Chains A and B, each alone.
Chain A
Amino acid sequence: MPGPLLDVHDLKTQFFTPEGVVKAVDGVSFELNAGETLGIVGESGSGKSVTALSLMRLIPPPGRVVSGRVIYDGNDLTKLSESEMQGIRGESIAMIFQDPMTSLNPVFKVGWQVGEPLMLHRAESKAKAFTSAVSVLGKVGIPSPADRARDYPHHFSGGMRQRAMIAMGLTTTPKVLIADEPTTALDVTIQAQILELLRNVNREFGTATILITHNLGVVAGMCERVMVMYAGRIVESGPTEDVFAHPKHPYTWSLLRSIPRLDADRHEALKPIEGLPPDLIDLPPGCAFHPRCVFAIERCKRDTPVLNRVGETQLAACWVTQSGTELRDA
């Protein structure tokens, strides 16, 4: 059995701002197996996008990956030279961004842009890359792709642009596809289509997919495994079904209670999580979630919990559940 496709160990990314050091990603470790779908969920500022950008080494200044390893194909991506990294980006690991409206260059024809990775990585001619792009555009469900490839991005609707972005990521058949909130800017019906497309891509090409989202429903419908992030750390991870059925971290537990459910009583009020996300420059001592946590014990204010096995399949960073306490309504 070969090792994982992507092995991330103790990744730390910090932004050095005039106000202080922002610990956007603070010691994240996970593995991604070939062909797997992994969801990363968390609220805004929890470090999910920064984690993805760190893998690609696309952190804008004043940010920097300060420590950790990202092992892909036997190489530590954090140690590669910039030009070696350029050979990985778009070739082995592709990324899709949140806002399809601004992710395409407005001055170029869509087909040209979709074919660009082939020009970059396969040294294909402009004409050949364009032909390949037309075929990929057809595969992601763009009608009459040969005509649409000659259009400019502003002729495309949001859903079509996101399809084009996915096509762009797929031209080189990468091993890993990182989708950073690919459906956030789209309306609900288009969201469903794009997720269906991503599922098909994963099935047909065996592309391991990391799906970053704040939408728990998206993760439930799409991912085999899920990681929940809070304040730059992974607080819980495990098979999606188990995490959703029996959350082992109070944050996940609270999150799941804060979204509407079809099977709940009609007049049952949603239960928001009290308080605000912590300031990443000045994190609370101990567990970053303890000020908002209804289960917090004395130890949570003192010691930072580490990710440990809780239950059969899950990992959680919580002193309460690690000591065997079940999370239940008070």
Chain B
Amino acid sequence: MIDPVIVEAPPVATPLATRRAIQSYWSAAFSRLRRNRIGMASGALLLFFVLVALAAPLLARLITHTNYSSQDLANTFANPLSPGHILGTDDLGRDELTRLLFGAQVSMGIGFLAVSVSLAIGATVGLVAGYYGGLIDGVLMRFVDIILAIPSIFLFILMSILFKPNTVTLALIIASVGWGSIARLVRGEVLSVRTRDFMVATRALGARDVRLIVRHLLPNVLHVLIVFGSLYLGSVILIEAALDFLGLGINPPIPSWGNMLTNSETFFFHSRWLVIWPGVMIFLAVLAANLFGNAVRDAFDPRLRGE
């Protein structure tokens, strides 16, 4: 270590006690997010859906005393608030509330899994392409162009036929298309960050490529991932519901909000609530995800600061 004192530190002008609290970019962003009431409310609603999804089996046992597939053919199309069935029953006498609870598992599970996988793949591809540039960038980005050029609904249909969809495979199918836009965004951000002097300065310290990418580039593009990820959640929930609705996603008897809609279409004229319940759930979940995503964007996107 270095011992000799080179320069005497100048006397400190202000007492240390009066120094302002140091706020990092992250803590500043989080406090902006906390001040956004709509954002926090929608975040709470989203959290509620997640908790419901996680606790679905427990709630089913404690509150509805049934499971999602047990049929009661003597008690079909029961009205809401009928004894034992708070939200009524469907065409096979299955408890509607229980099925909605388990439906949350599908929506939330696929939603968060697909977003995570998309972010992981998209960030990796974007970082690598943007950092190395040249041929690697060209190949990766043309591949992204190809994926994004094919109508995604067609890709979803194709892959749903190739792979039997369950919660995990359906999430992967959605993510296999979703990572493309993220890779593009991240690459764009990396292109601007990597030309800044600190990247060369850090290389001049002897840092390796992996360290430069993971320790120095990634934190500088993290805000892109956070913002995109939170806005993307709403679309994933909607895409998943649409695939289920078309019969290309999760299939009965496993309940999902999408396939419950398909199932109840037929009975719309005499049992309207069977359409309304899952529709409202999808609406609320997507709305909460989008509002929360907007709040996150307002808090984290450095370009929106100072408004």
A residues whose Cβ falls under 8 Å from a Cβ of B: 56, 58, 60-61, 83, 86-91, 94-95, 97-99, 102-109, 116-117, 120-121, 132, 135-136, 138-145, 147, 150-152, 155, 165, 168, 170-171, 173, 196-197, 200-201, 204-205
Q: Are A197 and B6 in contact (CB under 8 A)?
A: yes
A58-B200, A107-B25 are contacts. A91–B206 as well, Cβ < 8 Å?
Answer: yes
Q: How far is the CA of A135 from the CA of B133 in the complex (A)?
A: 39
Q: Which residues of B contact A141 (CB under 8 A)?
A: 6-10
* Per-position binary interface string of chain B over residues 1-30, scored 1 when its CB falls under 8 Å from any chain A CB and 0 otherwise: 110111111111000100100101100000
The answer to whether the Cβ of B203 comes within 8 Å of any Cβ in the partner chain is yes
**A90 contacts B206, CB within 8 Å?**
yes
Give me the interface of B with A, judged by CB distance under 8 Å.
1-2, 4-12, 16, 19, 22, 24-25, 133-134, 196-198, 200-208, 211, 216, 219-220
CB pair B205 A144 closer than 8 Å: no
Known contacts: A107-B25, A136-B2, A197-B7. The answer to whether A120 contacts B197 by CB under 8 A is no
Is the Cβ of B216 less than 8 Å from the Cβ of A105?
yes
Told that A89-B205, A105-B216, A141-B8 touch, could you supply 19 new A-B pairs with CB distance under 8 A? A94-B204, A95-B204, A98-B197, A102-B196, A107-B220, A116-B202, A139-B2, A139-B5, A139-B6, A143-B12, A144-B9, A144-B12, A150-B22, A152-B22, A155-B22, A168-B201, A197-B7, A200-B7, A201-B6
The smallest C-beta distance from A37 to any residue of chain B, in angstroms, reads 15
A151 touches B6 (CB 8 A): no
Considering the chains assembled together, what is the distance between the CA atoms of A204 and B204 in angstroms? 23
Q: Is the CB of B198 within 8 A of A103?
A: yes
- Name the residue on A nearest B5 (C-beta): A139
Residues of chain A with a CB closer than 8 A to B219's CB = 105, 107-108
Q: A157 → chain B, closest Cβ, in Å? A: 13
The answer on a CB contact under 8 Å between B204 and A147 is no
Contact of B220 among A61, A97, A106, A120 (CB under 8 A): A106
With contacts A105-B216, A205-B2 known, is A142 near B9, CB below 8 A?
Answer: yes
User: Which residues in A have their C-beta under 8 angstroms from that of B197?
Assistant: 97-99, 102-103
- A sample of 29 cross-chain residue pairs with beta-carbon separation below 8 angstroms, ordered by A number, consists of A58-B203, A60-B200, A61-B134, A86-B208, A89-B205, A90-B204, A90-B205, A90-B207, A95-B201, A99-B197, A102-B197, A104-B198, A105-B219, A106-B220, A107-B24, A107-B25, A109-B24, A116-B205, A132-B1, A136-B2, A138-B9, A141-B8, A144-B9, A147-B19, A151-B22, A152-B22, A197-B7, A205-B2, A205-B4
* Contacts A145-B9, A200-B6; A120 near B207 (Cβ below 8 A): yes
Chain B hits for A144, CB < 8 A: 9, 12, 16
CA distance A217 to B220 in the complex (A): 38
A163 CB, nearest partner CB in chain B, Å: 9
Residues A117 and B5 in contact, CB atoms below 8 Å apart: no
Q: How far is the CA of A24 from the CA of B268 in the complex (A)?
A: 77
In the docked arrangement, what's the CA distance between A151 and B22, Å?
7
Asked if A116 contacts B207 (CB within 8 A), the reply is yes
B204 touches A58 (CB 8 A): yes
Q: In the complex, what distance in Å separates the CA atom of A107 from the CA atom of B24?
A: 8
CB distance from A15 to the nearest CB of B (A): 15
**Contact with A102, one of B16, B25, B198, B208 (Cβ below 8 angstroms):** B198
Bound: A150/B16 CA distance, A = 13
Asked if B208 and A83 make an inter-chain contact with CB atoms under 8 angstroms apart, the answer reads yes
The closest CB in chain A to the CB of B204 belongs to: A95
**In whole angstroms, what is the CA distance A105 to B205 when docked?**
13
Contact A86 B22 (CB under 8 A): no
Residues of B close to A99: CB separation below 8 A = 197
Which residues from B are CB-within-8-Å of A140? 6-7
Give the CA-CA distance A56 to B202 in the complex, in Å: 12
**Distance of B145 from chain A, by nearest CB (Å):** 23
Q: Is the CB of A105 within 8 A of B22?
A: no
Least Cβ–Cβ distance between B130 and chain A, in angstroms: 14
